[in-house]
Amino acid sequence: MPPVRAFAAFTFTATLALALTGCGLFSVRGPVKIAAVGPLNAAATPLSGELSAANAALLDTTSQGLVSFDGEGQIEPGLAERWTVTADGRSYIFRLREAKWTNGRKVTANDVAAVLRTYLAPASRHILRDDFPEVETIKAMTDSVIEIRLSVPQPGMLELLAQPSMAVVNKGMRWGPMRAKKIGRAMLLSPVPDPLAEDQEAAEAAAADPAASVELVGTSPQGALARFKNGYADGVIGGRFSTLPYFAASNIGRPLLVVDPAPGLFGLSFTHADGFLATDINRDALSRAIRRERLVDAFGLTEWQPQVALRPTVYRRDAGPQPLLPPWADYDDDSRLVQAKRVVDAWRAAGREIGPLRIAVPDSPGGRILFAYVAADFARLGIESRRVNMGSTADLRLIDEVAPNDDPLWALRRLSCQRDTLCNREAQELIERTMMNIDLGQRLVQVGETEAVLARYTPFISLASPLRWSVASQRLTGLRPNARAAHPLNRLIALPK
């Protein structure tokens, strides 16, 4: 058994008993204390680019989007108290709740429309800008009603609007449902009083109750777990595969780990088509050679599942055809190795060399484990690998992203002609044609045809589903596994039904 695998197996089986955190150490009064992985910047906005888990949690709590996710990953009202979708699926109309910006001015539909248009502008750095290709216009219909008009229907629009990066922040001003106050390295979040409450004094008193507040700290994965283990945090959020070994080494009870069954992309994207990587059959040979179950088993989580299709399985039944499995999916690992080795040997027999493959993965314990297993599988083909950092020039680069909605086109768009993927013009034309199809039934058929073309091109080695994890004490009854990996800070304690 490889050392990293033995370590993971030992640490996960040796910590089945609850740690001190599950024995009532945490007070049920006072603020809920959360340690989030990553830096915490009170000035971060959706236009800052990719958000750390800490910044995403802060934005999602202090300035939600038009809609938001609840603790189970379901859509609930955010800044919009209600909404309607027209029969043709092309118009989403939202009625805003009574809310005020942090400067005391009323939030208006004009404000919100301007913010959303800025997010989706061509030059925007917004992380989801390219996931809204169907948006035609965003406009205020009245002072409290906003319409988002689409060129074609998008059944996954609400899930996109509920993402933390769609928080409505207006020139640094936020609206709620919680307000933030910096206390040392932490942010203290307290509820915004209901502006429509008949008794405003009582509403202010309820919002000031320490038990209704959240204390958020952004820190390293080691620091977050240490805070939890030593009683300084009720929960940890923002874990990924790259940081899971820290949990394994922490001796925190395994029952306190929350693993999200989130669909998405987790694998290695080819960044160029030169040399050995120039042909579809060679890229496919590398994909065949990976022993995915062995790799996933090294991390010791039965919830984490291998994945071989380019497109993830999503949860809505009407979200399109099942993902297309590669022709070799039913073969065992040994048979796949024979097939892959035949391709590599043929390349070398023609007098052509295969240089070391540079593989970009996070510089973290999980990243190093991932690289070790992938490199070992490539070595069975006689191909050398080198690990490089994510920002370095590479031949293959890790993509680790949760699907923002159930649109089956999301993964295909993400894997074609992007900054870190190859570009197949035939597939790209099919993607663009499918995106513009107003008939949802025909569109789903085209998804299958597009996927088949892209799969033959092999721009990506799919390895598994994305891994997202949190840690929750018994106090956090609302921190539950869900398909959106959504854990809003204002829903960490479940309210009685």
**pLDDT for 120-160, tens place per residue?**
999 999 999 999 989 999 999 999 999 999 999 988 999 99
Whether 377 and 431 map to the same domain: the answer is yes
Whether 354 and 419 map to the same domain: the answer is yes
Phi, psi of 82, rounded to the nearest 5 degrees:
-160, 165
Six-digit token pair at 361?
């993965």
Of 45 and 197, the one with more pLDDT: 45
DSSP structure class, residue 407: -
Q: Which residues contact 271 (CB under 8 A, 6 or more apart)?
A: 394, 395, 396, 397, 420, 421, 422
For residue 194, pLDDT over 90 is answered with: no
Whole-angstrom distance, CA of residue 208 vs CA of residue 272: 55
Out of 116, 141, 175, pick the residue that ends a domain: 175
pTM of the model as a whole: 0.91
Q: Which residues contact 439 (CB under 8 A, 6 or more apart)?
A: none
Whether 332 and 368 map to the same domain: the answer is yes
**Structural domain boundaries, residue 70:** 64-175
**What CATH number should be reported for the domain holding residue 138?**
3.90.76.10
Whether 288 and 419 map to the same domain: the answer is yes
Mean pLDDT of all residues belonging to the chain: 90
Whether 118 and 30 map to the same domain: the answer is no
Cα atoms in the Cβ-side hemisphere of radius 13 Å centred on 291: 19
For residue 14, pLDDT over 50 is answered with: no
Whether 205 and 301 map to the same domain: the answer is no
**What CATH number should be reported for the domain holding residue 224?**
3.40.190
Whether 417 and 293 map to the same domain: the answer is yes
**pLDDT value at position 497?**
52
Whole-angstrom distance, CA of residue 313 vs CA of residue 319: 9
Whether 293 and 429 map to the same domain: the answer is yes
Q: Answer yes or no: are the C-beta atoms of 483 and 260 closer than 8 Å.
A: yes
pLDDT in tens, 246-274: 999 999 999 999 999 899 999 999 999 99
**CA nearest 354: which of 447, 275, 268?**
275
Whether 340 and 439 map to the same domain: the answer is yes
Whether 158 and 186 map to the same domain: the answer is no
> Quick count: other Cβ atoms within 10 Å of Cβ 198?
7
Q: How many domains does the chain have?
A: 3
DSSP string, 226-242: HHHHTTS-SEEEEEEGG
What is the b/e burial string over 298-329, where b = at least 16 CB atoms within 10 angstroms of the residue's CB? bbbbeebebbbbbbbebeeeebbeebbebeee
**What CATH number should be reported for the domain holding residue 351?**
3.10.105.10
Whether 171 and 210 map to the same domain: the answer is no
Six-digit token pair at 419?
């900054």
SS3 (DSSP) at 134: coil
> Quick count: other Cβ atoms within 10 Å of Cβ 230?
11
Out of 175, 203, 221, pick the residue that ends a domain: 175
SS3 for 244-263 is: HHHHHHHCCCHHHEEEECCC
pLDDT band with cut points at 50, 70 and 90 for residue 26: very low
Whole-angstrom distance, CA of residue 261 vs CA of residue 411: 17
Whether 439 and 318 map to the same domain: the answer is yes
